[in-house]
Structure 1
Amino acid sequence: MMNATAELLKTKIENFSPETLEAFARIVESFEETSQPAIPQFQLDEILYRIQFHHENPMTKLDFYDNISELQKSCA
């Protein structure tokens, strides 16, 4: 699905006029400038692990809210 979408976009972009291509490039560059809060990879891995574990063991408690203040401090 992702490759098909990329190929479709590539074909459309190749047919842009020079002016449209330049405008499109400016739009894409503006997307890159928006920064997202940096969440350490180990925290993302931990969340993924907890979700996977809970999915395999549905009777367990997801304790995201117990550590939410620590995550908020990291993203501040």
Structure 2
Amino acid sequence: MMNATVEILKSKIENFNPEMLEAFAQMMEKFESKTPIAISPFHLDEILYRIQFHNENPATKLDFYENITELKKYCA
């Protein structure tokens, strides 16, 4: 599953025009430069559960749904 996802992302990135590639590179740099926040395993499990539940029930709303939508919009 993970390898398939990586291959899909690689093929999409390879087809970016130069401007999109630069924007994507800058976005990735912002992700890398952030200091990781200490999140307890309990909270991580809860977040993953909510995301999985939402994927199975797309009519539901997540507290941070707009953030996921924004990420999909910029990374699609």
Identify the TM-score tier after normalising by the shorter chain. Answer: 0.3 to 0.5
TM-score, normalising length: structure 2: 0.48
Give the TM-score of the pair, scaled to structure 1. 0.48
Which of the pair has more CA radius of gyration?
A: 1
**RCO comparison, higher one (Cα < 8 Å, 6+):** 1
